[in-house]
Amino acid sequence: MMRMRLDRLASCATALAWMLAIVPAAACAQQTDTTLLGPGLPSELLLVRPDILAAEERLRAAEASIGAARAAFFPNISLTGAWGFASAALNSLVGLDGLTWNVSPSLTTPIFNRGRLKGNAQVARAEGRIALAEYERAIQSAFREVTDALAGRRYLAEQVAAQERAAIAQRSIAQLARTRYIEGVASYLEVLDAERNLFQTEQQLLRLRRTNSENLVALYIALGGGMIERR
């Protein structure tokens, strides 16, 4: 009876091993390449974000010069440093609390063409100030989202690397358990225990890789979704 149970357990373990072999762990890693981003990504990428484009259109409606507004409020920096993580310039721009904004507007040229104001000039000036405040807020929000996504990217890269090392170690343990069973120095329960731990470790690795993929999507969206058309 005991021999039948062991044979049945062995069959189950063999089936589990085949299931793990069908979808190798490397396949997911190839789909989520953590070297996707290079250093020196320009902050100009954010200018194609819908919220910033909408804020600029409101400024245009208020007779503003978009070039002057960008020069005053939009930081021209590199978003990524070495390894494609957040650059020092970006980290110094947005505080560690995610709320601080360490940039003061550089108003060197007039943003609004006051000579073209018509009708109620006081109302027009108020609308211009509101549009400018919304523009500044959209820029700050964009940079904060990129900072958060890049911070998550670094954290997840470290987590994936650590879990990959754990999976390699667990595979060695499972292989050793199978060898010990074949040599007759261990029971099959030891093999099953090692296989179960390997399965759980690889499941956690897949979850981390999926989270990493979701982070890359969020980062791509935060960056505006692509390159910009220079105006």
Nearest CA-CA partner of 137 in 201, 220, 218, 49: 49
The pLDDT assigned to 92 comes to 86
- Residue 189 is encoded by which pair of tokens? 């329960």
Q: Read off the pLDDT of each residue in 187-193 and give the average, rounded to a whole number.
A: 93
The SS3 assignment for 188 reads helix
Q: Is the pLDDT of residue 193 over 90?
A: yes
User: Per residue in 100-132, pLDDT tens?
Assistant: 787 777 776 678 776 555 556 676 778 888 999
Distance CA 126, CA 117 (A): 12
Q: Does the predicted TM-score (pTM) go above 0.85?
A: no
Q: Read off the pLDDT of each residue in 186-197 and give the average, rounded to a whole number.
A: 94
- Residue 90 is encoded by which pair of tokens? 């970006």
Residues 6+ positions from 56 with CB-CB distance below 8 Å: 66, 69, 135
Residue 101 DSSP class: B
Residue entry with tokens 């911070």: 151
User: Per residue in 8-47, pLDDT tens?
Assistant: 444 444 433 433 343 454 454 455 554 467 788 899 999 9
Q: Are 79 and 87 in contact (CB under 8 A)?
A: yes
Q: Are 32 and 212 in contact (CB under 8 A)?
A: yes
